[in-house]
Structures are given as C-alpha cells and as structure tokens.
Amino acid sequence: MKLKSNLAISDNGFIFDPATGESFSTNTIGLEIIQLINKGKTDEEIKNYFLENYEIDEATYERSYLDFISMLRYYNLIENE
Amino acid sequence: MNKKKITVAVSGLNATDNPGPGIPVIRALKESEYFDCRIIGLAYENLEPGIYMPNLVDKVYQVPYPSTGSDNLIQRIEYIHEIENINVIIPNFDAELYAFIKSEERLKEKGIYTFLPALEQFEERHKANLYNFGKKYNFNVPQSININSISELYSVEKDFTYPYLVKGKFYEAYVAFNIEQAIMYFNKLASKWGLPIIIQEFIRGTEVNVIALGDGEGNTIAAVAMRKLYITDKGKAWSGIAIDDKELLEITEQLISKTKWRGAFELEIIKTNNNKYYIVEINPRIPAWVYLAVGVGQNIPEALVKLALKLPVEKYTKYEIGKMFIRYSWEMIVPIEKFEHLSTFGEL
C-alpha cells in the first residue's frame, strides 16, 4: 500500500492533497500510521509496532487500523493498487 | 525600472456577494511592476462598492447599461476617452462583452485597446452552444438541449434522466428532480433571462475551475487551477485554493490551442469520481477570483494589458500550489456628498 506521492503531510497531522485542494487532519496515532506507511512498512510490521509500543489488544488494533485505512481509501489518499 | 504610465478603464466594480471582477483586476494592475496605471472605473450603478473604495479608482464614470443600446455605451466611452485618454479597457461583465467586441475597431481607431475573444469565439462557447462546442473541438461536455416551451420539457424526458440541470441563458442553474420542478425552474429562468432555457445532463463530481489567458495565436500565456472551498448561496466562491491538476491545465492549453482563444476566460469543469473532466461552462472574461492568480504568481490582468498594447509578454509556467483566497465583507463609511456627486454628475 502506498499513499499518493504528492500529499503534503505536516508534523501536526495536517494532510493537504494539492491535486484536489482537499485537506484533512489526523491525530498523532493516524500520523504515526501514515509515517510508517510512507517508510514502506507492511501491515504486519505496522501492527507489530503498535502492539509493542501501545497498550492495545490485537483485535482492537485490527479494527481501528482497518477503519483508518478505509478512511484513507475513501478520501482517495491511497494510490490505486 | 521606470514604470510605463498608462490609463486603464475597468468595469465590474460591484464588490458584492455576487462580485464583479473589477476590484481584483484593479488591485492586480496597481501591483504591476511594469505599469503605473491610472484607473478609470466604469460603474453601471451608483452603489457599486468599488466606486468608494480608497486608493483603487482614480476617477469613476457612470455608464449606461448595454441593454439601452451598444451605441450609447460606446459613445459614453468615447466621451470619457476625450477627457481621460484611455489606453486600454477591460470590460468585466458578460452583458457588455458583445458591445465591446463589436466595437473593437471603432475603439482602436480612437486609440483605445481591448483584448477580447473574437465574436465567433464568444458565440460558440455560449451556454446554449456549448454542446456543439464540445463536439467540434473534442472536449467532454454534458449533453444539453435548448428549449423554448414547457411542452418541450415532456419530450426531453426520453433523452435526459432526472436529475438534470435547468439553466438560464445568461445566469443561474437549478437541479430538477422531476417534471414539476423543471416546469417551475423553466418559468423562473425564462421570466428573468428570457429564452431559450438550457436542459443539461447532471454530471456528478467535484467542480474545479481554471482562469487562463490566451494570446489569440494558440498560446497559453497564463493558467491557474482552483477549487472552490466555500460557496455562497448564489453559487459564488467565497474561498478557494490553488490546486495542482495537470490534466485540468492540459485541457486548458488544448482549448486555447484549438480555438486560438484571445483574452482571459474561466473554465468551469466537473471532475467525476473516475477522473473524467467535463467542461460545463466557459466564461469569456476574467473571473472575480482573479486575484488568487495574482497571489500565486500570475498577474493575468497585467499580461492582458501587455497583449492589448502589443507589448512583449512572457508565458507564466508555474504558480504556487496550496495558496488560498478568502473573501470578506467590510463596511465603508461614505459621505453623502460623494454619492450625491456621482448621482448628479455621473462621475466622481
């Protein structure tokens, strides 16, 4: 999975899509996910990162992660695979 | 560098919630690094805010509406020219464009220059002709048909599914979801703008806009793409952002190249979810959001004046993405004497 290459993502979690002019805000967890995706991490690697660094069970993580990714897809922030 | 002193007459001083382009055009000219512009404001109504805004117009003249006859308008311009020695006129109202295009040679003989589309270009992009324009130049445009009576609304049902757009000849459009709504909008628009009424396929997607300037030889001198962020109940952009949409700019370049468009214009385009672009309107003049183009690095009014005066003009090749414009409203306190002077003498 790859985010659209031209997205401008600030350290505050503000995401700007210059092709459409749309902008979005995400919290620090969302920003961490985005940064990990941008580093080329796989779903599995991102999951391991969160399970190691946060107090969260796997089922809750999976649900939240899929929710977030589907939101990125919904807003066309992910490159067509 | 010594700036070139010129006098430019500008209309569209109605900086209201349905704004004319006059004020941003004047701001752009005042910021020109090439010209030192004396600005003559042309006002149709004596309450157009631009008349009274400080440091913008140097002199204002009232002019008659083109509906009273093109000749009246042009005669008034000639009278103003005798006093002010106008070099260039930038007309900013749809309704006056025809008069200025028709009178281009007459004005040029007096030393007044314009840079407007040819009459054929002006006519073929007209709302009522847009469908044929799309077919002729191979652009995606929504299917549309011009109708002159309510009975025709029943026959369009075989070609158009609801919802469809019911559009006035000059301005305004409504989305009709059934025949009753279509009839209501037909009557409303016909009584306001006359016939024909345009029935247009409703394209779902995001509206994006481009302001551009063609040199009349097929070259694009300037082009900036924008997406509206906040729209008033009149459908006007109150806020917008410069976007990086290469296909949109490519469509603009193609349009200028194929039509050899002369002058500034605005493209209104719907981008569908599967990334198809449909031209829904071509406005043959500078749009009111032109100051965004200036703000992101393309002074389109300055370039237009250069073209009008046959001065060398360089093509703009880039602009700053992600800059926004936000309009605001503001009350000026105006002494009655100014209003009185304009109302009595037709100038201020």
Q: Give me the helices (H) in chain B, please.
A: 22-30, 70-84, 94-102, 104-109, 119-124, 130-137, 150-156, 179-193, 246-259, 290-295, 300-308, 336-345
- Residues belonging to chain B with any Cβ–Cβ distance to chain A shorter than 8 Å: 206, 226-227, 229, 240-245, 321-322
A18 reaches B (C-beta below 8 A)? yes
Q: Which residues of B touch A18 (CB under 8 A)?
A: 243-244, 321-322
Whether B7 and B84 have beta carbons less than 8 Å apart is answered as yes
ipTM: 0.74
pLDDT at B126: 86
From the DSSP assignment, how many helices (H) and strands (E) are in chain B?
12, 14
Disruptive mutation site among B209, B224, B226, B227 for chain A (greatest number of A CBs within 10 Å): B227
Q: Is the pLDDT of residue B131 over 80?
A: yes
Domain spans, chain A: 8-74
Cβ–Cβ gap B322/A16 under 8 Å: yes
Residue of B nearest to A20 (CA): B243
B295-337 pLDDT, tens digit each: 999 999 999 999 999 999 999 999 999 999 999 998 999 999 8
Cβ–Cβ gap B226/A16 under 8 Å: no
Cβ–Cβ gap B243/A19 under 8 Å: yes
Residue of B nearest to A76 (CA): B273
Residue of A nearest to B274 (CA): A76
B43-52 pLDDT, tens digit each: 999 999 999 9
A16 reaches B (C-beta below 8 A)? yes
Q: Is the pLDDT of residue A66 over 80?
A: yes
pLDDT at B115: 97
**What's the mean pLDDT when you consider all of chain B?**
93
What distance in Å separates residue A43's CA from the closest CA in chain B? 27
Cβ–Cβ gap B244/A16 under 8 Å: no
Q: Is the pLDDT of residue B344 over 80?
A: yes
pLDDT at B32: 95
Give the residue from B308, B311, B310, B270 showing the smallest Cα distance to B286.
Answer: B308
Which residue matches tokens 């109302």?
B343
CATH numbers and ranges of domains, chain B: 4-115+331-345 (3.40.50.20), 143-201 (3.30.1490.20)
Cβ–Cβ gap B243/A6 under 8 Å: no
* pTM passes above 0.90: no
A21 reaches B (C-beta below 8 A)? yes
The 8-class DSSP code of residue B269 comes to E
B253-271 pLDDT, tens digit each: 999 999 999 999 999 999 9
Beta bridge partners of B200: B144, B165
Contacts 24+ apart (CB under 8 A), B82-87: B84/B7, B84/B9, B84/B38, B84/B40, B84/B59, B85/B7, B85/B111, B86/B7, B86/B8, B86/B9, B86/B40, B86/B111, B86/B112, B87/B6, B87/B7, B87/B8, B87/B111, B87/B112, B87/B113, B87/B309
Q: Which residues of A touch B226 (CB under 8 A)?
A: 21
pLDDT at B194: 87
